[in-house]
Amino acid sequence: MSGEYDERFFPAVFKEVVGFHLRIAQEASFEAFGVMAGKANLKPGWYALLTILNEAGSMTPSELSKHCGRDRSTLTSTLKALAARELIQRERKSDDQRSYEVRLTAVGFDIQRRLHAIAIEHERRLDEILGQDKDMLLAMLRRIASRI
């Protein structure tokens, strides 16, 4: 999508729709991140989950859902993919065998570090694009997220 943003191809009704442009911007950002990550099939959305687990140590899927802003059903398929790639491991909670926690594996820690380096460079590129408007954009995005 990089360099392909051309409003002439968007339906006229969407040209002033904030949600549409948020989605387009996110897709462009994720695509650029993915290109930077190379062909390792590392999804940009994984970075947030791996970083949360890196900082927290371990947590239940419900806790992780709250921290990353994804609903539990969407998160479940992502956790399965992360487990299949051996980036996370699931462990039954000692105090409740019906529940489990997820934590990073050694491979997960390594991938998180690689994605973090990519994220820093990606953020630098976004900073160049936004310039002095970054703080204003972040404030507006926070306002949308907290009120909608």
> Tokens standing for 138?
């972040």
Report the candidate in 83, 89, 98 with the shortest Cα–Cα distance to residue 58: 89
Query: What's the pLDDT tens digit per position in 17-59?
Result: 999 999 999 999 989 998 888 866 777 788 999 999 999 999 9
Contacts of 63 (CB under 8 A, 6+ apart): 56
Integer Cα distance of 67 and 120 in angstroms: 20
More confident residue, 134 or 39: 134
Fold of 7-147: Arc Repressor Mutant, subunit A (1.10.10)
Q: What confidence score (pLDDT) does residue 69 get?
A: 85
Q: What confidence score (pLDDT) does residue 120 get?
A: 96
Contacts of 70 (CB under 8 A, 6+ apart): 78
Query: Contacts from 82-89 at CB under 8 Å and sequence distance 24+?
Result: 82/46, 82/49, 82/50, 82/108, 87/46, 87/50, 87/111, 88/53
Is the dihedral angle over the CA atoms 132, 136, 139, 144 positive or is it negative?
negative
Query: What's the pLDDT tens digit per position in 62-108?
Result: 999 999 888 888 899 999 999 999 999 999 877 777 788 999 999 99
pTM summary value: 0.81
The answer to whether 45 touches 78, Cβ cutoff 8 Å, is yes
Integer Cα distance of 98 and 23 in angstroms: 37
Q: Give the residue extent of every domain in the chain.
A: 7-147
The answer to whether 40 touches 79, Cβ cutoff 8 Å, is no
